[in-house]
Amino acid sequence: MTKSTLLALDTSTDACSVALLVDGEIISDHRLLPREHTQNILPMVESILSDNNVQMSQLDGLVVGAGPGSFTGLRIAFGVVQGLAFALDKPVAVVSTLAALAVRAKSLADSEGTDLNGDIIATVDARMNELYWGRYSVFAEGVNEVTQAQVSNASEIDFQGVGAIIGTGLVYQDQMRLSQDQLMLLGDERPRAADMLQLCMLAPDSITWTTADLIEPLYVRNDVAKKKADQKPG
């Protein structure tokens, strides 16, 4: 399903990110605002819409960063998107923050004329000496998830055949078993709402649209903890 006017939000990290897709163009407002998401996300939404002469009612849908990321940050973005979607009666798409990072890595490589020569590992610092990560292949027509989002210690990740590593998880670079000299290391990148819209444009048929009451954040650490508990003998 192709939708022409979209608003995307992400607050899964210390960045507050808003982007608007209108007439085939993506306009973005991306700021590092640690612990200031609640005060800034709605004013940023209102500003990007008014600056581009778009009314809320003109939106075809809303996009939200699914995570993984900060539990508090995810709840903020989901709360805002659900509130807007209910009020406007608009559909919502939930997009992986890691997939968005992979799109950004490919875009940065292309802008530098660099051939990645491998997959992209997208990361987010999960604290407690762990990182959220997933492995992706990015093509002109979309993104392929090679390894689904998970949380682990940096030393546990296999980087064989990887061309780029992106995201705040690179804070644990010293613990990574990196054997390739030509890896692109893009450690100062956060998930961006603009890249989520780019993903919607690259592969619109892969985006699932649903109602606001059915969307849920991707709490990878909670999922892992639950699986481990379920595996314990009773």
The phi and psi torsions of 226 (rounded to 5 degrees) equal: -65, -40
> Quick one: 137 and 34 in the same domain?
no
**Type of residue numbered 44:** M
Using alpha carbons, list the distances in angstroms from residue 132 to 40, 85, 155, 178, 222.
Answer: 25, 28, 13, 17, 12
- Per-residue pLDDT tens digits for 16-57: 999 999 999 999 999 999 999 999 999 999 999 999 999 999
Give the residue from 167, 100, 15, 192 showing the smallest Cα distance to 157: 167
> Quick one: 163 and 56 in the same domain?
no
Per DSSP, the three-state class of 121 is strand
Q: 143 pairs with which residues across the strands?
A: 138
What is the pLDDT at residue 1? 52
> Quick one: 175 and 200 in the same domain?
no
> Quick one: 78 and 138 in the same domain?
no
Percent helix, strand and coil across the chain, each to the nearest 5: 40, 30, 30
> Quick one: 16 and 68 in the same domain?
yes
> Quick one: 105 and 153 in the same domain?
yes
CB 133 within 8 A of CB 149: yes
User: Whole-angstrom Cα distance, residue 200 to residue 100?
Assistant: 10
Whether residue 200 is contained in a domain is answered as yes
pLDDT level of residue 152 (50, 70, 90 thresholds): very high
> Quick one: 195 and 92 in the same domain?
yes
CATH code for position 216: 3.30.420.40
Per DSSP, the three-state class of 6 is strand
> Quick one: 75 and 11 in the same domain?
yes
- Per-residue pLDDT tens digits for 68-127: 999 999 999 999 999 999 999 999 999 999 999 999 999 999 999 998 889 999 999 999
The domain of 15 spans 6-96+191-221
pTM: 0.91
> Quick one: 85 and 136 in the same domain?
no
Segments of 35-182 assigned E as strands: 61-65, 92-95, 119-127, 130-139, 142-152, 162-167
Number of domains in the chain: 2
Whether residue 230 is contained in a domain is answered as no
> Quick one: 89 and 126 in the same domain?
no
